[in-house]
Amino acid sequence: MARNTAVVEHPELVRCTMCGNEFSQEEAAIACRACTLVGGCRKTRCPACGYEMPEETWLARWIRKRLGGRKTSGHD
């Protein structure tokens, strides 16, 4: 089985872990516009399917960069 490390052509994009859609933070911000919490929840919402992922924290980013892996949420 393939490892979940697809070629990163646009590292700034976030990949949704539910539907595989790749989107920018700007698109995610549009998806959050209608929400009551608008950005106060520390989560990233996929504009295609609505699935929410926790925003990547500094510690998570540090781990991912050392162990490898594809960005699936949050801001850099």
73 binds other proteins (CB under 8 A): yes
Which one, of 21, 37, 16, 39, lies nearest residue 29 by Cα?
39
Minimum distance, C-beta of residue 7 to other proteins, in the bound complex (Å): 13
28 binds other proteins (CB under 8 A): no
7 binds other proteins (CB under 8 A): no
Which one, of 61, 55, 51, 30, lies nearest residue 41 by Cα?
55
Q: How far apart are CA 67 and CA 49, in angstroms?
A: 28
Q: How far apart are CA 76 and CA 65, in angstroms?
A: 11
By C-beta, is 1 or 7 nearer to other proteins?
1
- The contact set with other proteins (CB under 8 A) reads 1-5, 17-21, 34-37, 41-43, 45, 48-57, 59-61, 63-70, 72-74
